[in-house]
Amino acid sequence: MADPQGQGFEPATGDGPPPSGPARAGELATAYEGLVQIRRLLTGGVGVPAPWELRMMPRAVALVLEAAGFPPSAVDADGRRSRTGYRVAAGAEGLVEVTWAGPPGSGAAGEERERLSACAAELERHGWDCLLYRGPRGRRFLEVGAPHPAG
């Protein structure tokens, strides 16, 4: 589905305003169903990312997480974190980084291991390879990559 600016549906990455609006749920469901159908046609199943997903990994990962009901983080008009949830960003070449972010004092750091593990389980169910790491200042993050061929 297109938005008023003529762009396709954009899943929430956690770096914008909270997703909202009466049409959002329907647009999300349509976008996710499109992902599933493309996978069936191009890969023969739903457990392997389609070629477009590998080219647009942050978008594909965010779509899976949002469709699964994980809350995205959000920022206010001043760029301050205003909501706790996942944050998806491009990582090192060919990888996506998922963090659990929230406003100061939100307790996001205390939730991150459990919440990122749940995100990883959902992404792995969709064919992505995930590794949970501890980064700077002890904060955890999820590294998401394309599945490795069996062999």
Per-residue pLDDT, 8: 81
Per-residue pLDDT, 5: 38
Alpha-carbon distance of 114 to 95, in angstroms, equals 21
Alpha-carbon distance of 136 to 5, in angstroms, equals 38
Q: pTM of the full predicted structure?
A: 0.91
Burial category of 22 from C-beta neighbours within 10 Å (exposed 0-12, middle 13-18, buried 19 and up): exposed
Per-residue pLDDT, 74: 97
**Annotated domain spans of the chain:** 24-145
Residue 136 DSSP label: G
| Per-residue tens of pLDDT for the chain, all 151 residues | 333 334 589 999 999 999 988 899 999 999 999 999 999 999 888 899 999 999 999 999 999 999 999 999 999 999 999 999 999 999 999 999 999 999 999 999 999 999 999 999 999 999 999 999 998 889 999 999 998 765 4
Per-residue pLDDT, 150: 59
Per-residue pLDDT, 22: 85
Would you call 145 helix, strand, or coil by DSSP?
strand
Per-residue pLDDT, 114: 97
Q: For residue 82, give both structure tokens.
A: 């205003």
